[in-house]
A and B are shown apart, each in its own frame.
Chain A
Amino acid sequence: MSDPIIKIQNMNKWFGDFQVLKNINLEVEANKKIVVCGPSGSGKSTLIRCINRLEEHQEGDIIVDGNELSEKTKDIEKIRAEVGMVFQQFNLFPHLSILDNCTLAPIWVKKMPKKEAQELALDQLKKVQIDDQANKFPGQLSGGQQQRCAIARALCMQPKIMLFDEPTSALDPEMIKEVLDAMVSLAKGGMTMIVVTHEMGFAKEVADEVIFMDEGMIIEKAGTKEFFANPKSDRTKLFLSQIL
């Protein structure tokens, strides 16, 4: 067994007095796809935001690709550059064109020559099928197109890990499919992915493991088939019965 690319040990996190994450232990191996599900407010998003330190944890260890995340971490930017993230609200930069959204970080963070960055960006945009929109601005695109652009933007940094924070929750039903298709093809390409989502169809199709969270704890963690076929805890059963 290879070393896990993400390793979380006994991690606790508080917002003020409120404990959002309780004693989280998680190991993710390279090229594995993990789906995290659970009711809202269960700490799913906070968990994956901790993985690239958009949120700081107070106790325990998080080790991403051999680097421990803590206050002492000097090159947090370097680690973030290797961990792509896609947000629920897309968070494209509205003042930049789609192409510039994708090339900004490669040029300024990775110091890539502009031409190379543009070729890379167009390549990535083509994979999510919006290369024809490259010169438009985010405000001119539909939600689904914006989210696909956000995926392409994250991929332009050529990350080792991709985090998805409810990527389809802010989309109209008919746009969900186009985004999920992009994610499925990404998964088939062998990317390490952690996806917070309610799309159980997606989980069944690509996930290696499914994690169920509630009240800041990991209630259940199992292989995909196992998880859907015979969930162990009652809480998971209830959740699945409601969502499926």
Chain B
Amino acid sequence: MQTINFLKPNRDNIKNYSIIGSFLVLVSLIDVISNAFLKINLTSFLPGSLTTLFPLIIGLIGLNMMRIDYSGHKTLDLLNKNINTNNFNALLTLLILFSIIKALPQSLSWMILDATISGDSKDACTGTGACWTYIKVWFRRFMYGMYPNEFHWRINTAFILVIALGFVGYFMKENLKKYLALYYVIIYPVIAYLVIYYLISGGSFGLQWVETGAWGGLSLTFIVSFFCLIFCFPLGMIFALGRRSNLPAIKYISICYIEFWRGVPLITVLFMSSVMFPMFLPEDFFMDKLVRVIIAITLFEAAYCAEVIRGGLQSLPRGQYDAAKSLGMGYWKMHIFVILPQALKLVIPGIANTFLALVKDTPLIFVVGLAELAGMLALAKTNPKWLGFAMEGYIFASIVFWIICYAMSKYSYNLEAKYKTER
């Protein structure tokens, strides 16, 4: 006897059901798309709330009909397994899909179709969309801050030099490889500092002096992040080892240091560094505000790095220490050759996390009057000639930050894959 199983699809009636089901889903999608892009309501004949709910109901019925276990059809199985496992998931799928479709036309027209990019003053922006002219006109400010336009090449050259020096490690000869850590921890930062000091600050070799107050924009973000990153890592390593030391003095100093810096908000640290700190210094002693800020952020982030690295040290089995000791290695040899190489590998994700947070914390230096990218935005949006374009600025800044941070996290994945070891 043949039973009618209208809402119970199975392998026998798979063809009918999948065709009817996909047709219904298609109808619901067409309805939403036409509604969003063409502003035509295909279902205007239906009463009130049914019109809005129509695509959802039709889509749900369609997906329900398509839900056939082990249909043997590849695409259908994939669909059922991932987005159509039950009615609730089907509903979520449809809701997400519809919201994206609904939001697309507005954002597209605001960001691209109705946007303006020509001209070089506010008057060019007459459309209803975004005013990218604003970004275009202010671009140099966003990149270089108040740094004089004619000297921008100095910043560019300095960055290219610093990046090139960073790659030296890759081309080092085999017999120099053992000095690699020494190079990156001590020599490289010093050279980078000198390059940035002489090229960007100037004051000698016929280059005009530009005070750090004029530095700004993305280049300042890079400078601050760069120095903080390369200094906070070794410092964090020292405190991580210190916290695990057997010597009580070193141990408790490390604990105090870490707990102190982790307990204070970065913003107060920055205030202290720029307002309070100079008061404690002797009269004739001068330290640039930017240097003070970099030191403050470095000390702050080093505490976080220390705890991340300590986590890695903690996770190594005791046998590794035993083995290294039994071979006659002292504390430093054991850590340099056996413990740290393994621990640092383990903490790459955590360190990347800390570094990303650091890069995104740099805008805070605005509170002490240093305007990096986000700071320049804050200045630009209050410029009387360019009022009302905060949105464009923030979108621009978030895209720039996202690119930087995404690149960093990609790089950390690469490192992880490169140094993976089997246990």
Docked Cα-Cα span, A64 to B320, in Å, equals 23
**Residue from the list A49, A84, A109 in contact with B329, Cβ < 8 A:** A109
A213-B327 Cα distance, complex, nearest whole Å: 27
Q: Which of A41-57 contact B (CB under 8 A)?
A: 49, 52, 54
Which residue of chain B has the shortest Cβ distance to A85 in the bound complex?
B326
Q: Which residue of A lies closest to B338 (CB)?
A: A93
B324 partner residues in chain A, CB cutoff 8 A: 93
A87 in contact with B319 given A54-B325, A94-B342 (CB within 8 Å): yes
Neighbour of A87 across the interface among B323, B329, B342, CB < 8 A: B323
**Of all chain A residues, which has the CB nearest B345?**
A95
CA–CA, A84 to B325, complex, Å? 10
Q: A89-B319, A95-B345 are in contact. Are A81 and B327 (CB under 8 A)?
A: yes
Interface size class of B (residues with CB under 8 A): 20 to 34
Among A52, A82, A104, A105, max chain B CB count under 10 A is at A105
Decide if A92 is an interface residue (CB 8 Å cutoff). yes
Closest residue of chain A to B322 (Cβ to Cβ) is A54
Interface assignment of A169: CB less than 8 Å from any CB of chain B? no
Q: Kindly list chain B residues whose C-beta atoms are within 8 Å of the C-beta of A52.
A: 325-326
Q: A157–B423 contact, CB under 8 A?
A: no
CB distance B327 to A91 under 8 Å? no
Q: Chain B CB within 10 Å — which of A89, A90, A137 has the most? A: A89
- CA gap between A77 and B324 in the complex, in Å: 10
Smallest beta-carbon distance B342→chain A, Å:
5
Interface status of B193 (Cβ within 8 A of chain A): no
**In whole angstroms, what is the CA distance A154 to B326 when docked?**
8
* Contact in complex: B328, A77 (CB < 8 Å): yes
Q: Mark B310-345, 1 if CB is under 8 A from A, else 0.
A: 000000010110111111111001000110011001
Inter-chain contact A154/B421, CB cutoff 8 Å: no
Task: Return the contact of B323 from the options A49, A82, A93, A108 (Cβ within 8 A).
Answer: A93
Contact A84 B326 (CB under 8 A): yes
Contact B421 A94 (CB under 8 A): yes
Known: A91-B320, A94-B342, A95-B345. A54 touches B326 (CB 8 A): yes
- CB neighbours of A139 from chain B (8 A): 421-423
Q: Compute how far the CA of A89 lies from the CA of B319 in the bound complex, rounded to whole angstroms.
A: 7
The answer, yes or no, to whether A188 is at the interface (CB within 8 Å) is: no
CA distance A72 to B66 in the complex (A): 79
With A89-B319, A108-B333, A140-B422 given, is the CB distance from A95 to B341 under 8 Å?
yes
Are A87 and B422 in contact, with the CB atoms below 8 A? Answer: no
- Establish whether residues A80 and B325, one from each chain, have CB atoms under 8 Å apart when the complex forms: yes
Q: Is A6 in the interface zone, CB < 8 Å from B?
A: no
* Interchain CB contact under 8 A, B328 and A104: no
Complex CA–CA separation, A239 to B325 (angstroms): 33
Known: A94-B422, A95-B345, A104-B337. A154 touches B320 (CB 8 A): no
Q: Assess A80 versus B327: contact at CB under 8 Å? Given A89-B317, A93-B338.
A: yes
* B327 close to A157 (CB less than 8 A): yes
Asked whether, in the complex, the Cβ of A87 is within 8 Å of the Cβ of B322, the reply is yes
Given contacts A92-B323, A95-B341, contact A105 B328 (CB under 8 A): yes
Contact with B along A67-82 (1 / 0, CB 8 A): 0000000000110111
Residues of B within 8 Å of A80, CB to CB, are 325-328
Whole-angstrom distance between the alpha carbons of A89 and B330 in the complex? 22
On whether the beta carbons of A91 and B319 are closer than 8 Å, the reply is yes
Asked if A83 is an interface residue, CB under 8 A from chain B, the answer is yes
B333 engages A109 (CB within 8 Å)? yes
A105 B422 Cβ-Cβ under 8 A:
no
In angstroms, Cα B329 to Cα A109, docked, is 6
B422 touches A154 (CB 8 A): no
* Measured CA separation A151–B328 after assembly (Å): 15
Instruction: Flag if A93 contacts B423 (CB, 8 Å).
Output: no
Kindly state whether residue A148 has any CB partner on chain B within 8 Å: no
A82 vs B326: C-alpha distance in the bound complex, in angstroms?
A: 9
Distance in angstroms between the alpha carbons of A160 and B423 in the assembled complex: 31
Q: Is A7 an interface residue (CB 8 A)?
A: no
| A91 / chain B contacts, CB cutoff of 8 Å | 317, 319-320, 322-323
Chain B residues within 8 Å of A85, by CB: 322-323, 326
Residues from chain B with a CB closer than 8 A to the CB of A140 are: 422
Given A87-B323, A93-B338, A108-B333, the answer on whether A81 and B328 have CB atoms closer than 8 Å is yes
Contacting residues, chain A, for B345 (C-beta < 8 A): 95
In the assembled complex, which residues on chain A have CB atoms less than 8 Å from the CB atom of B320? 91, 93
The docked-state distance in angstroms from the alpha carbon of A110 to that of B423 is 28
Closest Cβ of chain B to A7, distance in Å, is 20
Given contacts A89-B317, A89-B319, A95-B345, contact A105 B327 (CB under 8 A): yes
Within 8 A of A (CB), among B247-293: none
Q: Which residues of A contact B342 (CB under 8 A)?
A: 93-95
Minimum CB–CB distance for B209 against chain A, Å:
48
Is the C-beta of A153 less than 8 angstroms from some C-beta in chain B?
Answer: yes
| Residue in B closest to A140 when the chains form the complex, CB atoms | B422
Q: A219 vs B421: C-alpha distance in the bound complex, in angstroms?
A: 45
Provide the residues of chain A in CB contact with B422, threshold 8 Å: 94, 137-140
Please give me the 5 A-B residue pairs with the lowest Cβ-Cβ distance, nearest first: A139-B422, A81-B328, A91-B323, A105-B327, A91-B319
Sampled A-B contacts (11; CB under 8 Å): A54-B326, A81-B327, A85-B322, A87-B319, A91-B323, A92-B323, A95-B341, A95-B345, A137-B422, A139-B422, A157-B328
Task: Knowing that A87-B319, A93-B338, A138-B422 touch, tell me 13 more A-B residue pairs with CB under 8 angstroms.
Answer: A54-B322, A54-B325, A77-B329, A80-B327, A80-B328, A83-B326, A87-B322, A91-B323, A95-B421, A104-B327, A108-B337, A139-B422, A140-B422
A interface residues with partner B (beta carbon < 8 Å): 49, 52, 54, 77-78, 80-85, 87, 89-95, 104-105, 108-110, 137-140, 150, 153-154, 157, 163
